[in-house]
Amino acid sequence: MTDSALTRRTLLLGGLGVASVATLAACSGASGTTGGRMPSRTFGAPVPVSPSPGQKTVTATLTAKPATLDLGGRTVSTWAYGDTAPGPVVRATAGDFLRLTLDNQLPADTTVHWHGIRLRNAADGVPGMTQDPVKPGTRFVYEFTAPDPGTYFFHPHVGVQLDRGLYAPLVIQDPDEPGGYDAEWIVVLDDWVDGTGTTPDDVLKKLIADGGPASSGGMGGMGGMGGMDHGSMGGMGGMSMGSPPWGDAGDVTYPFFLINGKPPTDPDVLTAKPGQKVRLRVINAASDTIFTLALGGHRMTITHTDGHAVQPTEVDAFYIGMGERYDAVVTLADGVFPLVARPFGKTSGGQAMALIRTGPGAAPTAGVNPAELSGQVLIGSQLQPAASARLPDRKPDATARLDLQGSMKPYQWGINGAPFGSNEPLTVKAGQRLRITATNMTMMTHPLHLHGHTFALPSGLRKDTVLMAPMESLSIDLDADNAGDWMIHCHNIYHAEAGMMIALNYVA
Ligand code: C2O
Ligand code: CU
């Protein structure tokens, strides 16, 4: 990937266990035995493609550039798509052809990844795997068909750039949408540190140099699990569960949590009428924060996750991991209501809040504590799929293991015994049903994300990002119907950049 990735890899070498060193030695010799390809190929200019006859084309230009944002009176310098974070929403209809131009006006290489979309490999935005990095002052045109309706977002796939302001919603509308709601509100959650005296790159450097966050004890080594005592779980989110499943949830201390780029002292507001039905499209664009989301005075009916329809499920609140999306429908009462996203397991930085206003009344304060947060809090992987979203029943043709490993002290994360670049890619043949048995061998929760496909949990629930609790094991099935080289990684961007990624390569 990038120079900094190489530096990081060098830093990690000293700390890896014996098994990993053996893996490293094996890999550096030849990676061809399983058909696995290592990253950092070069690509040249993308081959232009055209829409099919009759296919509608949606175009947009995204200018990645330095920007200054106002966070409730505090000015921060960051990088964004245009002048705001989140950047401007991109909207299309399922089946449309998207031609999206990245104009890189940053002082660094970047790319755009279209998170959750089953697109052609060449448009996936992973430098060294699907394209060359886009150099400062140059452009790159992403051309792809968006086959499935749903709530998505996009962000860079370089370093920890996601933890700047470089993210924006991507909504693919359903041409057959039954509708049944009066308004739509896109709700983008974020944890914010950039420009507050540090940058995400500095945060990562410090995590590696310090061997993890100051408050955290050691965790299992790369090869094993070891015993661990992770001290207090902190935070308030999800206390209602009695024992919330997420264990230790984050590494980074954030001064702000935002909804639609705004802190709770200057909240984003949706104005609507009592009795109206609103569809919330909730996206967690945070880098290191799982949130519990609730709307004061209301229950919500979850209708979709990661774009896929679920059996409608009424909840007081739900967890949302980094990279996950949930759509919920709610019938609005009369008044002013806080939509609160409470960081799980974090003791500073407060919470994120926006408002829905359907009548007169004073706005709740930034620290408001809606009762729903202590109600029934849904764990998304327990949703049941809608019949239309089920993966058809089929025996797997192939299986693979995926072990999430690592520790915070020292700060090392990897998959299958080594950090990305040193681990052996998973492989699949086109047409196969692949069953990946994923195991979280750490005491931390990781949102596991797959590019270019969706997978099914044993219940049939379709996801592209799933929260894996400490020590949890989960079989995920996917149909290999989109050839190319793809990423599987933790969507904690600091974990990913420290090595918690692996390739999934199609082989002959
Ligand atoms: Cu949103 Cu590879 O990730
Ligand atoms: Cu992780």
Return the HEC string of 379-422: CHHHCCECHHHCCCCCCCCEEEEEEEEEECCCCEEEECCECCCC
User: For the chain, how many residues are written?
Assistant: 508
pLDDT of residue 213: 59
Nearby residues of 123 by Cβ (< 8 Å), 6 or more positions away: 46, 114, 130, 142, 143, 144
Closest CA to 90 of 63, 117, 50, 61: 61
What integer pLDDT is reported at residue 40 of this predicted model?
A: 72
Would the pLDDT of 11 be above 60? no
Cβ atoms of 256 and 349 closer than 8 Å: yes
Cis peptide before 51 (omega within 30 of 0): no
Q: Is the pLDDT of residue 442 over 70?
A: yes
User: In angstroms, what is the span from residue 495 Cα to ligand 1's centroid?
Assistant: 12
Q: Residue 421 Cα, ligand 1 centroid: separation in angstroms? A: 17
Q: How far is the CA of 66 from the centre of ligand 1 (A)?
A: 22
Whole-number pLDDT of residue 24: 30
Q: For the chain, what is the mean pLDDT? A: 88
Give the H/E segment covering residue 4: helix 3-13
Between vectors from CA 77 to CA 75 and to CA 81, what angle results, nearest 5°? 115
Tokens, residue 432: 């196969």
Minimal-distance CA residue to ligand 1 atom 1: 115
Give the three-state DSSP class for 108: coil
Report the nearest atom of ligand 1 relative to the CA of 162: 1
23 vs 31: CA distance, rounded Å: 11
DSSP one-letter code for 76: E
| AA identity, residue 320 | I
In the reported structure, the alpha carbon of residue 449 is separated from the centroid of ligand 1 by a whole-number distance in angstroms of 7
Q: What is the bridge-based pairing of β-strands 433-440 and 398-407?
A: parallel
Best CA proximity match to 285, nearest among 186, 201, 215, 373: 186
β strands within 275-379, DSSP E: 277-284, 291-295, 300-305, 308-315, 317-320, 325-331, 336-343, 352-357, 377-378
- Shortest-distance atom of ligand 1 to CA 153: 1
Cα 416 to Cα 268: distance, rounded to the nearest angstrom: 42
Distance (Å, whole) CA 307 – CA 309: 7
Q: Does this chain's domain 57-177 share its CATH topology with 236-388?
A: yes
Question: Is residue 225 predicted with pLDDT exceeding 50?
Answer: no
pLDDT the model gives residue 138? 98
Instruction: Specify the residue with its C-alpha closest to ligand 1, atom 3.
Output: 115
CA 280 to chain centre: 18
In words, the CATH class of domain 236-388 is mainly beta
Ligand number nearest CA of 495 is 2
399 is written with which tokens?
């299986």
CATH fold of 57-177: Immunoglobulin-like (2.60.40)
Question: How high is the pLDDT of residue 243?
Answer: 55
Where does ligand 1 bind, in terms of residues with CB under 6 Å?
A: 113, 115, 155, 157, 323, 449, 451, 487, 489, 491
In ligand 1, which atom is closest to the CA atom of 323?
1
Question: Using CA atoms, how far apart are residues 423 and 405, in angstroms rounded to an integer?
Answer: 12
Residue ranges of the domains in the chain? 17-39+389-507, 57-177, 236-388
Alpha helices in 14-117 (DSSP H): 18-29
CB 462 within 8 A of CB 391: yes
Any idea which fold 17-39+389-507 has?
Immunoglobulin-like (2.60.40)
Q: List beta partners, residue 475.
A: 437
Per-residue pLDDT tens digits for 383-422 = 999 999 999 999 999 999 999 999 877 899 999 999 999 9
Nearest atom of ligand 1 to the alpha carbon of 451: 2
Q: Residue 338's pLDDT is what?
A: 98
| Residues 6 or more apart in contact with residue 40 via CB below 8 angstroms | 1, 128, 421
Question: pLDDT digits over 226-274, tens only?
Answer: 323 233 333 333 333 445 688 877 889 999 999 999 999 999 999 999 9
| Strand-strand pairing, 336-343 and 352-357 | antiparallel
pLDDT surpassing 80 at residue 343: yes
| Neighbour tally for 291: CB within 10 Å | 31
Q: What's residue 485's pLDDT?
A: 97
Q: For tokens 């043949």, name the residue.
A: 429
Q: How confident is the model at residue 177 (pLDDT cuts 50, 70, 90)?
A: confident
How far, in Å, is the centroid of ligand 1 from the Cα of 507?
22
Give the ligand with the smallest distance to the CA of 441.
Answer: 2
3-state secondary structure 173-190: ECCCCCCCCCEEEEEEEE
pLDDT at 39: 60
299 pLDDT higher than 50: yes
